[in-house]
A and B are shown apart, each in its own frame.
Chain A
Amino acid sequence: MKTILGREIPDYIEGYGRVTPFQGAFSDGGVKTRTAVKLTSVIPNDQKVLPNLEEALDKLNISEGMTISFHHHLRNGDFVLNKVMEGLAARGIKDLTVAASSIFPIHAPLVKHMENGVVTGLVANYISGPVAKAISEGKLKKPAIMQTHGGRARAIESGDLHIDVAFLAAPTADTYGNINGVYGNAACGTLGYAVSDAEYADKTVAITDNLVPYPAYPIEISQVFIDYVVLIDSIGDPKGIVSGTTKITKDPVALIIAKRAAEVIKASGLVQEGMSFQTGAGGTSLAVAAELKKIMQHEEVVGSFASGGITGYLVEMLEEGLFRTLFDVQCFDIKAIESYRDNATHQFMSASMYGNPHTKGAVVNNLDIMILGATEIDMEFNVNVTTGSNGVIMGGSGGHSDTAAGSKLAIVVTNLIKARLPIIKDKVMTITTPGESIDVVVTERGIAVNPKRVDLLEKLRMAKLPLMTIKELKLMAEKITGVPKDISTSEEIVAVVEYRDGRVIDVVRKVK
């Protein structure tokens, strides 16, 4: 079948099932159901603390075909996923589906488990490193399912993604399972991506290296959701969990792009009292925040909130009174962790509250300005952040599709050309976010506005910004680089890209 975005996708995919195709960013609204959860009640004198991980695995009785989940707040410093998988592999269990909110290079041992059939399915919002490469090479038996941050929460809460056991890495846990992420050697800040897992999994295990006497303070995930608590030596390496400080880029071209993006924001008229803003953690994204800060200070504007993954830079903006609060779904650096811990206006937001389209209103719905990245953009403004220029998986939506859909002004900031490759193509290799959600593309050589946004075009034209059509940008790039040949792929599908609502927006095929 051909989707409304022109993608050829089979009606049925082996290892995935029947395909419900994407029909539009807001096509699947209306009445929704949160699934019921079966649990085993706990009475006084029941002990939750188990002496070690092996005992927990014994008790959990994990069997073939089950789905186990992990959150990614320990990022590239996570030890928990590998440890659990090692234990399960040793027991000869096969055919497991790993639902990890994100996969990082540190999870490389998963490749071996994939090759040995221990893991045959993977569900994630972001996949990087050796695992991404292995999936692209077809080493995972079933196609990987790539979701968005909001979409994963939706899938879990609706029952589309049933989790048998959730392994919750807990920087701090008490003996009854109350968890927080702000204290402990492996402190990571908020645990936004762990909430749906804790609430809806059949069984949950808190795995901690900082077991404190009951009750813990603060409580981010409540004891009422936790079955067992296990203490291990170390759940993660702080150096891989958070960076010391995230820094603004020094690359002159990136700084020019950031300045242009700020000019677009200014011309849009959205810099007003009560505005809201979100940006990524990369150097260019922060540079945009820095430029916006200058504008806000000049206009004497106080915003309502900044959201997303939070960095020290946004914390500074909060402390300087530029925003009333922050909504934090994950902390990227130490400053963010400390601010979340100590400042009441730095607030927690679960992945569901952040971007689940099937709730009574996600935070992304209230977002004014969103700064996004891209590996490829096409003539309809569809954006790829799933596969790189060589067709190999290198990321995934994360919150990309969620924020692009919800925000009033979604701006993609990118170099026009990266290592001889134009970012703008006739067709992207993989559609992650549909063009209808993308408003402006800002490059160092020009700005393209989605033709649907007639209002925005007018405003930017009046501000005398260097506007051109997306086609003109593409031709400009190709004049410099030459026209690239397309990457050829086989028919074999290695990943299914689900939109926020669970419908299939595209697939990733194996690269030849």
Chain B
Amino acid sequence: MESNDILIMVRPNEFGKIEIELESIVMQQFGDVIEQVILHKVKEMGIEGISIKAQDKGALDYTIAARVETAIRRAI
């Protein structure tokens, strides 16, 4: 995983919940924001019941949103 990027892995969540597991090099400074961006994209795409594992290396919001969208589209 390159600097400024984020690796997103998704799988369906059997309980119909949205679960996010986040690792980030800027966890303290931006952890909350990153989770919000991921959540926002998931809701925007109308997805319920998803488990997301994210490994962040300092991605900006636009990258996070793009990678989440790509991961979800591929999974569908």
List the A side residues contacting B4 at CB < 8 Å: 419-420
**Which listed residue (A390, A485, A488) contacts B30, Cβ 8 A?**
A485
- A420 and B37 CA atoms in complex are apart in Å by 15
List the A side residues contacting B30 at CB < 8 Å: 420, 481-482, 484-485
| A-side interface size class | 10 to 19
Query: Per-residue 0/1 for A470-497: is the Cβ within 8 Å of any B Cβ (1 yes, 0 no)?
Result: 0000000000111011111000000000
Q: Is the CB of B60 within 8 A of A480?
A: yes
User: Is A421 an interface residue when CB atoms closer than 8 A count as contact?
Assistant: yes
User: Is B61 an interface residue when CB atoms closer than 8 A count as contact?
Assistant: yes
User: Is A268 an interface residue when CB atoms closer than 8 A count as contact?
Assistant: no
Q: Given A482-B33, A485-B32, A419–B60 Cβ distance below 8 Å?
A: no
Return A162 CB to nearest CB of chain B, in Å.
40
Q: Is the CB of A419 within 8 A of B28?
A: no
User: Is B59 an interface residue when CB atoms closer than 8 A count as contact?
Assistant: yes
User: Is B25 an interface residue when CB atoms closer than 8 A count as contact?
Assistant: yes
- A488 and B29 CA atoms in complex are apart in Å by 10
User: Is A389 an interface residue when CB atoms closer than 8 A count as contact?
Assistant: yes
List the A side residues contacting B3 at CB < 8 Å: 419
List the B side residues contacting A481 at CB < 8 Å: 30, 60
Q: Which among A484, A487, A488 has the greatest number of chain B C-beta atoms within 10 A? A: A484
User: Is B57 an interface residue when CB atoms closer than 8 A count as contact?
Assistant: yes
| B-side interface size class | 10 to 19
Query: Per-residue 0/1 for B57-72: is the Cβ within 8 Å of any A Cβ (1 yes, 0 no)?
Result: 1111100000000000
List the A side residues contacting B45 at CB < 8 Å: none
Chain A residue nearest in CB terms to B25: A419
List the B side residues contacting A480 at CB < 8 Å: 60
Q: Given A482-B33, A482-B61, A421–B26 Cβ distance below 8 Å?
A: yes
Near A by CB (< 8 A), chain B positions 25-54 give 25-26, 28-33
Q: Given A419-B4, A420-B4, A390–B60 Cβ distance below 8 Å?
A: no
Return A314 CB to nearest CB of chain B, in Å.
30
List the B side residues contacting A389 at CB < 8 Å: 26, 29
Return A165 CB to nearest CB of chain B, in Å.
42
Q: Given A480-B60, A482-B33, A482-B61, A420–B28 Cβ distance below 8 Å?
A: no
List the A side residues contacting B59 at CB < 8 Å: 420
List the B side residues contacting A421 at CB < 8 Å: 26, 29, 58
Return B33 CB to nearest CB of chain A, in Å.
5
Q: Is the CB of A419 within 8 A of B58?
A: yes
Q: Given A480-B60, A481-B60, A419–B29 Cβ distance below 8 Å?
A: no
List the A side residues contacting B58 at CB < 8 Å: 419-421
Chain B residue nearest in CB terms to A488: B28
Q: Is the CB of B26 within 8 A of A484?
A: yes
Q: Is the CB of A390 within 8 A of B28?
A: yes
List the B side residues contacting A484 at CB < 8 Å: 26, 29-30
Q: Given A419-B3, A419-B4, A420-B4, A485–B60 Cβ distance below 8 Å?
A: no
Return B6 CB to nearest CB of chain A, in Å.
10
List the B side residues contacting A488 at CB < 8 Å: 28
List the A side residues contacting B31 at CB < 8 Å: 485
Chain A residue nearest in CB terms to B32: A485
Near A by CB (< 8 A), chain B positions 11-29 give 25-26, 28-29
Q: Is the CB of A485 within 8 A of B57?
A: no
Chain B residue nearest in CB terms to A422: B29
Query: Per-residue 0/1 for B1-12: is the Cβ within 8 Å of any A Cβ (1 yes, 0 no)?
Result: 001100000000
Return B49 CB to nearest CB of chain A, in Å.
28
List the A side residues contacting B57 at CB < 8 Å: 419
- A58 and B33 CA atoms in complex are apart in Å by 60
- A482 and B30 CA atoms in complex are apart in Å by 8
Q: Given A419-B4, A482-B33, A487–B60 Cβ distance below 8 Å?
A: no
List the A side residues contacting B33 at CB < 8 Å: 482
Q: Is the CB of B60 within 8 A of A420?
A: yes
Q: Is the CB of A485 within 8 A of B28?
A: yes
Return B7 CB to nearest CB of chain A, in Å.
15
Instruction: Give B contacts to A, CB under 8 Å.
Output: 3-4, 25-26, 28-33, 57-61
**Closest 7 interchain pairs by CB?**
A419-B58, A484-B29, A420-B58, A420-B26, A485-B29, A482-B33, A487-B28
A sample of 22 inter-chain contacts (CB < 8 A) reads: A389-B26, A419-B3, A419-B25, A419-B57, A420-B4, A420-B26, A420-B30, A420-B58, A421-B58, A480-B60, A481-B30, A482-B30, A482-B61, A484-B29, A484-B30, A485-B28, A485-B30, A485-B31, A486-B29, A487-B28, A487-B29, A488-B28
With A421-B26, A485-B29 given, can you name 6 additional A-B contacts, CB distance below 8 Å?
A: A419-B26, A419-B58, A480-B60, A482-B61, A484-B26, A485-B30
